Amino acid sequence: MDDKEILHRISENIRIKRLKKKFTQEKLAELSGITQKYISLIEKQKANPSIVIIVKIAEALNTDLNLLIKEVED
């Protein structure tokens, strides 16, 4: 698996989980301590978040970190 595929999985899973929780990007930003703009860049695959950022997002979404890395759910 290459870097692009990993980034795609993470960004899509964050977006899917955020929408399932009915969170706006602003709400996720507030809960995670990350700016809304950076959340947007992650979801658009324009940013390569560090593991620290991914952990903060996982905690804000109340989900396991592994679920953000696995194959994209529909």
Task: With a cut of 60, say whether residue 41 has pLDDT above it.
Answer: yes
Question: CA 70, CA 6: separation in Å to the nearest integer?
Answer: 9
pLDDT-based confidence at residue 73 (cuts at 50, 70, 90)? low
List phi, psi (to 5°) of 73: -90, 155
**Six-digit token string for 39:** 């959340």
Question: CA 40, CA 29: separation in Å to the nearest integer?
Answer: 10
pLDDT-based confidence at residue 1 (cuts at 50, 70, 90)? confident
Tell me, what's the pLDDT at 70? 85
Tell me, what's the pLDDT at 15? 97
Q: Within 13 Å of residue 64, how many CA atoms lie on the same side as its CB?
A: 3
Mean pLDDT to the nearest integer, 10-24 = 97
Domains of the chain: 3-69 (1.10.260.40)
